Structure 1
Amino acid sequence: MRALILPLLLLAATPAAAQLTPAERRIAATVDAGRARDEALLEKLVNQNSGSRNLAGVEAVGRMMRAELEPLGFEIRWIPMIEVGRAGHLVATHKGNGRGKRMLLIGHLDTVFEPDSPFQRFVRKDAAHAEGPGASDDKGGLVVMVAALRAMQAAGTLKNADIVVVLTGDEEEAGRPLAISRRDLVAAGKATDVALDFEGLAQENGRDMGSTARRSAGGWEVHATGATGHSSGIFGGNAGYGAIYELVRILDDFRRELPEPNLTFNVGLVVGGTTAQLDAAHIRGEATGKTNIIPPLAIARGDIRTLSREQEERVRAKMRDIVARHLPRTGAEISFDEPYPPMAPTAGNKALLDRLNLVNRDLGLGEMGVLDPLKRGAGDISFVAELEPGLVGLGTASRGDHAPGETVDLSTIPRQAKRAAILMSRLAREKR
């Protein structure tokens, strides 16, 4: 009896693929048949260096993606971004029947690994894993996107789909001002109904997760000043506390007073002394000083990440208040960089994940839970988050991103491509 009951229980507990339409079954079969082709494309993309400042390399990856998208019926535009010191963006447009949801697919051509990095080549580690610069972030995502669109074409679901693809060339180090470097992405967001971001798939305890929010990313810089003089007079009425004590007070007040849910703030660089300065890129500092001289200058630089614009504005105001409480004979000022905006969680985003979970059910895959936004960095989808619902994480799973040894889970390419292709096929049938 147990031998008869157990298979029935397993059958009842495992979602079948019976809800897939014939076209969707064709999508799944096409993705499975194209695995070797997809992995070969990934190797080709990875072996072309495309660090954000390697303008020629970014353009080369753009040409590779053009070669994949044009045969699928996309009209390609290359938008140069020399005015902000970056290579440019690829915008690909597929015109459907004009009746279904208009979709914006987002990815990026660049990586954090510039040509001087020792980490340059695609290396297969085993049947399911390979390492290489940008192997997942975001070249794995580009491969998932192409595999999904190719499967849609084979199944006949692409022809009626209205899709705009925006592949930025500077996601890892955006050109400034953002009003220029993200102008075309925002324009695409205004012309579409749904945004799908093909950055990495997040996982928790072996379970695929859905991302419906991601936080902002911006920088801050504090310059503290103080009266200088012989160290024997420190804390006295004439000498005061000096710039370094003022800076330390500010940073410690940040630590004690700012913490709240969904907020992080890091201190990444500190210099102080008789002289103190940062380089033009604000990533290196120099300082001089002696132990018997009260330091007149101190500088700290860090980041701030929030989940909403309201939170960012409120936390910035608190930081300004803290900076303004000067120790005797000291002063300080704080400035903020132009931030990547947040993608706040919305009902529309959650509804889109619910739609994806219907796809998971029909594919026989497990339900994807909602990822804590603290576990995800900033990204390009945030620039259109206030314009339309969106979903993040349609790319590949990986480990060690942004560091030598970045490793992609190749087995997630077909799984993610099937999810994306079926979701897009269904959205293309929904009335706008």
Structure 2
Amino acid sequence: MGELTRGESGAVERLDAARMLARVERWCAINSGTRNLAGCSAMAEALADAFAALPGEVTLVEPGAAESVGADGSVAALAHGHHLRATVRPEAPVRLLLTGHLDTVYPVDHPFQTLTWREPGVLNGPGVADMKGGLALMLEALLAVEAEGARFGYDVVINSDEETGSFSSAALLAEAARGKVAALTYEPALPDGTLAGARGGTGNFSIVVRGRAAHAGRNPADGRNAVVAASALALRLHAERSPRLAVNPARIDGGGPNNVVPDLAVLRVNFRPADAGEIARAQALVERAAAEVAAVHEVSVEVHGGFNRPPKPIDAGAARLFELVRASGADLGQAIAWRDTGGVCDGNNIAACGVPVVDTMGARGGAIHSAEEYLIVDSLSERAALSAVTMLRIAEGALA
């Protein structure tokens, strides 16, 4: 352990491990798969009750507009659950943003619904690491610094759609990031505590191809095969992949009886650009390939979607924040490292607003997005202490 101030030591001593674990167990009993709107509502209400222990105002925010493209090519509004926002001391000269998500990847009918102790200190369950454990320790850290007389301001945003791209909460995150000196996001760390550094971006597209139906035996030449055209488009896009731009044509919806030339197909494609230049290249690629396929195959092509998470580089501000977190960890006896990752999260969106962010301040755990997901329970106290000390040091001007 290194040197902690009296306030830092006091905050760490106030952390209650049993209370954090109880929150995790209680919250993980609520299925809050993104599309389970009733479950997300129940989870949002539970969080609102818990975060009401903080000073300031807690509100449940209506989701923004979002849409989806169906397998039939139709575009429909996509409903989401409410997002939580807590605002404390908005007039303070130093203000932080803390973010998390209440949704999980496990639908209401998924078989993975219960908690199991894999071994002493290791809890298996839906959302234990990603990220209900992170929400539990975020709240505990805030309660601890408040008890020590915190003077900095902060907003907490917990959205209901992070696992599907944050389409209905992106505007809320951008608004909440305004004027903040730094942000902490509570995605899980790796099992050894390693943080995510730079992240690539991501974009998702649904491309609707409409051709002309015809009898496959009597007059196939009169048809315009939408599945063939969508396949040609997928191949063109995939051929442009590079070490700095991953292109994954993931699915083609469409087709029908074997004796009918299909007149509809929907191609789903994911891009992973390394930087803003690759986003521009990918956007131009989609436009060019769509026009070429439409002309060659005599079909119409409608492009829906875009790049919802920009790449997150480690700039000078982010490097200073990482160093502060590392030093705080060292003074707590925690070795903190970081490494770049291909995954994305709300940290991408926050960094794009010009706010330094560390986006893996959550619990240590692993096997997320699977029925093997687990939480290392001791990390609740470790990471809550790391958050508390980091926040107190930012409040004292460590990033100035």
User: Which shifted more, 323-332 or 388-397?
Assistant: 323-332
Give the direction of change, closer, same or farther, for the CA distance of 1:61–1:231 in structure 2 (3 Å limit). Answer: same
Q: State the Cα distance separating 1:356 from its structure 2 match.
A: 0.8
Deviation string, structure 1 residues 352-372 (Cα, Å, up to 9, x no partner): 111111112222222412x22
Q: Distance in 1 between matches of 2:64 and 2:223?
A: 48
What's 1:199 paired with? 187
Give the direction of change, closer, same or farther, for the CA distance of 1:248–1:215 in structure 2 (3 Å limit). Answer: same
Q: Distance in 1 between matches of 2:173 and 2:297?
A: 48
Asked if residue 19 in structure 1 is aligned to residue 3 in structure 2, the reply is yes
Give the direction of change, closer, same or farther, for the CA distance of 1:246–1:63 in structure 2 (3 Å limit). Answer: closer
Give the direction of change, closer, same or farther, for the CA distance of 1:241–1:259 in structure 2 (3 Å limit). Answer: farther
Q: Distance in 1 between matches of 2:226 and 2:37?
A: 41
Q: Could you tell me which amino acid in structure 1 is paired with residue 34 of structure 2?
A: S
Identify the match of residue 161 of structure 1 among 152, 156, 164: 152
What's 1:269 paired with? 251
What's 2:175 paired with? 187
What's 2:47 paired with? 65
The answer on whether the counterparts of 1:241 and 1:328 sit within 8 Å (CA) in structure 2 is no
The answer on whether the counterparts of 1:148 and 1:417 sit within 8 Å (CA) in structure 2 is yes
Q: State the Cα distance separating 1:207 from its structure 2 match.
A: 5.6
3-state SS of the aligned residue for 2:152? coil
3-state SS of the aligned residue for 1:19? coil
Q: Distance in 1 between matches of 2:13 and 2:154?
A: 23
The answer on whether the counterparts of 2:199 and 2:348 sit within 8 Å (CA) in structure 1 is no
Asked if residue 378 in structure 1 is aligned to residue 369 in structure 2, the reply is no
What's 1:170 paired with? 161
Deviation string, structure 1 residues 30-60 (Cα, Å, up to 9, x no partner): 33xx112211111001012222233333233
Q: Distance in 2 between matches of 1:183 and 1:295?
A: 39
Q: Could you tell me which amino acid in structure 1 is paired with residue 205 of structure 2?
A: G
Give the direction of change, closer, same or farther, for the CA distance of 1:240–1:289 in structure 2 (3 Å limit). Answer: closer
Asked if residue 220 in structure 1 is aligned to residue 206 in structure 2, the reply is yes
Specify every segment of 5 or more residues in structure 1 that has no aligned partner in the other structure, as ranges: 1-16, 277-286
Identify the match of residue 128 of structure 2 among 120, 135, 141: 135
The answer on whether the counterparts of 1:218 and 1:303 sit within 8 Å (CA) in structure 2 is yes
Identify the match of residue 356 of structure 1 among 304, 310, 325: 325
Identify the match of residue 426 of structure 1 among 379, 393, 397: 393
Asked if residue 259 in structure 1 is aligned to residue 242 in structure 2, the reply is yes
3-state SS of the aligned residue for 2:31? coil
User: Which shifted more, 351-360 or 329-338?
Assistant: 329-338
Identify the match of residue 98 of structure 1 among 92, 104, 110: 92
What's 1:29 paired with? 13
3-state SS of the aligned residue for 2:391? helix
Q: How does 1:212-361 map to 2 (within 5 A)?
A: 212-221=198-207, 223=209, 225=211, 242-261=225-244, 263-272=245-254, 276=255, 287-290=256-259, 297-326=264-293, 329-331=297-299, 333=301, 335-345=303-313, 346-361=315-330
Asked if residue 366 in structure 1 is aligned to residue 323 in structure 2, the reply is no
Q: Distance in 2 between matches of 1:224 and 1:136?
A: 43
What's 1:120 paired with? 113
TM-score (norm 2): 0.84
What's 2:194 paired with? 208
Q: State the Cα distance separating 1:202 from its structure 2 match.
A: 3.0
Asked if residue 110 in structure 1 is aligned to residue 110 in structure 2, the reply is no
Identify the match of residue 56 of structure 2 among 66, 74, 80: 74
Q: Could you tell me which amino acid in structure 2 is paired with residue 170 of structure 1?
A: D
Q: State the Cα distance separating 1:230 from its structure 2 match.
A: 5.7
Identify the match of residue 87 of structure 1 among 62, 81, 86: 81
User: Aligned residue pairs: how many?
Assistant: 385
Aligned-CA RMSD value? 3.0
Q: Could you tell me which amino acid in structure 2 is paired with residue 171 of structure 1?
A: E
Same amino acid, percent of matched pairs: 24
Q: Distance in 2 between matches of 1:420 and 1:212?
A: 20
Q: Distance in 2 between matches of 1:302 and 1:193?
A: 36
Q: State the Cα distance separating 1:125 from its structure 2 match.
A: 2.1
The answer on whether the counterparts of 2:202 and 2:273 sit within 8 Å (CA) in structure 1 is yes
Give the direction of change, closer, same or farther, for the CA distance of 1:312–1:226 in structure 2 (3 Å limit). Answer: farther
Q: State the Cα distance separating 1:165 from its structure 2 match.
A: 0.6
The answer on whether the counterparts of 1:195 and 1:381 sit within 8 Å (CA) in structure 2 is no
Q: Could you tell me which amino acid in structure 2 is paired with residue 373 of structure 1?
A: T
3-state SS of the aligned residue for 1:93? strand
Give the direction of change, closer, same or farther, for the CA distance of 1:45–1:268 in structure 2 (3 Å limit). Answer: same
Q: Could you tell me which amino acid in structure 1 is paired with residue 7 of structure 2?
A: A
Give the direction of change, closer, same or farther, for the CA distance of 1:320–1:192 in structure 2 (3 Å limit). Answer: same
What's 1:14 paired with? none
Specify every segment of 5 or more residues in structure 2 that has no aligned partner in the other structure, as ranges: 67-78
Q: Distance in 2 between matches of 1:328 and 1:58?
A: 46
Q: State the Cα distance separating 1:297 from its structure 2 match.
A: 4.7
The structure number with the bigger radius of gyration is: 1
Q: Could you tell me which amino acid in structure 2 is paired with residue 425 of structure 1?
A: L
